Amino acid sequence: MKKNFMLVVVMVVTVISAVSTQAQVTIGGHVGYASGGDLSESAIAYGAQVILPVTDIISFLVSGSMFDDEADTITVGITHIAGEMRASVLVFGEKLKLSGGIGVSHNAYDVDVSLPGYEVTIENAFGFLVSGGVSFLITKNVEVFIEHRCNWIDSESEIQGPYDCQTVDGPYNSALTMLGVGIAL
């Protein structure tokens, strides 16, 4: 619940800020596939994003996605929030838009352990990302997009068992491939 609230607050603040600048803001939703890196299992992801143009080519994107990383005895719910500067170029008669970006990312973790006597905590952490994608403009204000984002995040985990406690510091990297729809306001 706390993760959902944080995601909603970030998105609402971004939309209000963007609308107040009177720029043509694009909002959208996506479904995706989280995989690779340090995830135990690939997972379905879902989320939303807001794009605020800075110039004709440069824009600022805020995106939030949620997915679970499941192993045999532990499930980690991940809320991934990304902020990135991106460049976009229209090609092929202004119907196809290619984009790429770099930025920062933040993962918030919600851990559920099904092993009696054990407790696991993972600290929320910041990292960086690189993304690339393509959008097909259906109309002047509606686009369908596919995007791939690679995230590099270093998190600290603590595992407490009945007899000892262990701290693990290391990467929690992942990739997220998304398919979505964006609407320019």
Can you give the CATH number for the domain in which 180 is found? 2.40.160.20
Range of the domain at 75: 2-184
* Contact between residue 154 and residue 148 where contact means Cβ atoms under 8 Å apart: no
Please check whether residue 46 is in contact with residue 65, taking contact to mean a CB–CB distance below 8 angstroms. yes
Cα dihedral 66, 64, 171, 37, rounded to 10, equals 70
Distance CA 135, CA 112 (A): 37
- Give the containing element (helix H, strand E) for 3: helix 2-20
Number of structural domains (the chain) is 1
pTM higher than 0.75: yes
Instruction: Name residue 185's amino acid.
Output: L
Q: 15-48: per-residue pLDDT in tens? A: 555 555 556 889 999 999 988 767 777 788 999 9
pLDDT digits (tens, 9 = 90+) for 53-101: 888 888 989 998 998 888 777 788 888 888 888 888 878 777 898 999 9
Contact 61, 84 (CB under 8 A): yes
CA 176 – CA 153 distance, rounded (Å): 13
DSSP assignment letter at 23: -
